[in-house]
Amino acid sequence: MPTVLALETSCDESAAAIVRDRQVLASAVASQVEEHARWGGVVPEIASRRHVEALPQLIAQVCRESGLSLAEVDAVAATVAPGLVGALLVASITGRTLARLHAKPFLGIHHLEGHLASVHLGEAMPPGSHLVLLVSGGHTELVRVEGPGDVRRLGRSHDDAAGEAFDKVARLLGLGYPGGPAIQEAARGGDPQRFRLPRGRVSRPEGGFHPYDFSFSGLKTAMLRLVRSLEAEGSTPLPVADLAASFEQAVVEVLVERSCRCALDQGLTTLVLVGGVAANQRLRTQLAERCRRDGLQWRVAPLAYCTDNAAMVGVAACERLATGCRSAIDLGVAARLPLAQADSLYSTPPPF
């Protein structure tokens, strides 16, 4: 069983972990949320600077907690795509430097592949293929997983990701950043049926709708118009709890319905939930209830590993190591890279 030092700096979380197969020996995360909250979102330059400051201490911490030195790990891994380029470079350069210094293999990991692997940090998975609903600040996708590196996207958002929509609506309601936890808290005790909001669908050029795709821009616009209408009517203060609950319910309803329909249509028996939005309690509860009703097994990444972390990167790296993958030591980083192209991270010459 390989032991991997994994690093993650794709956005605003600095993280390091030491993972052996699917066992986390040590994991540490330094969050920048409070600093970015002042600006209502992530400021890339600030994020990069904080990664440079935090990462050496995090690496020292996981080595200390695991009782392992860098010389004792079998490989070094770092997220290299997609993400903020300046932020990605911090983990990538650090990881490649450590790999060179200690003569270890280096693996560049696709961020979404890390999220797909995060479910293995929890309850054991049933054997065979499964469908993953990946919902985060930057991505909303339905992915069929056959095995490490063998994935196929079946559905996606055509505009805002679900997490992005949470952030924008939270800002509209004056709830702060990050939007997901803020809206969940504001929605407690609210009436999710008070305001009927659109459940966005994506039209096909030949007619009809994409059955498994998502669109949240119309929902975001509807919320804006609703708030402006209530303000014009003199509704002071705004019914924030009901607005938040109605918005949250609209997002959850669409995610649950299309995910379960996709799994059943694909003949799959297991549905998996991962990503930062997987921490949302309404989504977890309603997806679990729908899976039971439809006869689907379901799994969810542990709460500690839903948001960005290095442990999931380490698990993905262990899976890739087991198939003989290695990355070129001069592999760079990329702001965008489709999940379908993750195999290119192990090619020679590297793709970037």
Domain boundaries, the chain: 3-116+306-346, 128-300
* Nearest CA-CA partner of 18 in 64, 55, 50: 64
Q: Are 292 and 168 in contact (CB under 8 A)?
A: no
Query: Residue 14 forms beta bridges with which residues?
Result: 30
Average pLDDT over residues 205-226: 94
* Domains 3-116+306-346 and 128-300 agree in fold: yes
pLDDT at 236: 79
- Residue 310: predicted pLDDT: 98
Residue-level pLDDT at 107: 98
What is the Cβ-side half-sphere exposure of residue 194, based on CA atoms within 13 angstroms?
17
The predicted pLDDT at position 153 comes to: 97
Handedness of CA 114, 280, 244, 185 (dihedral sign): negative
Q: Which fold has domain 128-300?
A: Nucleotidyltransferase; domain 5 (3.30.420)
**Contact criterion met (CB below 8 Å) for 171 and 244:** no
Structure tokens at 18: 């030491």
User: Does 213 score more than 90 pLDDT?
Assistant: yes
Give the C-alpha separation, 50 to 31, whole Å. 9
Q: Is it the case that residue 34 has pLDDT exceeding 90? A: no
pLDDT band at 183 (very low <50, low <70, confident <90, very high): very high
- Is 147 a residue whose pLDDT tops 90? no
Q: What is the mean pLDDT of the chain?
A: 95
Predicted TM-score of the model (pTM): 0.94
pLDDT at 1 over 90: no
Asked if residues 84 and 47 have their Cβ atoms less than 8 Å apart, the reply is yes
Specify which residues 24 forms β-bridges with: 19
CATH architecture assignment, domain 3-116+306-346: 2-Layer Sandwich (3.30)
Helix, strand, coil content of the chain in percent (nearest 5): 45, 20, 35
Other C-beta atoms within 10 Å of 20: how many? 18
Q: What is the pLDDT of residue 235?
A: 78
Residue 53 reports pLDDT greater than 90: yes
d(CA 158, CA 31): 29
Which residues touch 352 (CB under 8 Å, ≥6 apart)?
A: 331, 332, 333, 334
Does the structure show a pLDDT above 90 at 187?
A: yes
Residue 170, number of CB atoms within 10 A of its CB: 24
Is the pLDDT confidence value at 342 over 90?
A: yes
Other Cβ atoms closer than 10 A to 66: 20
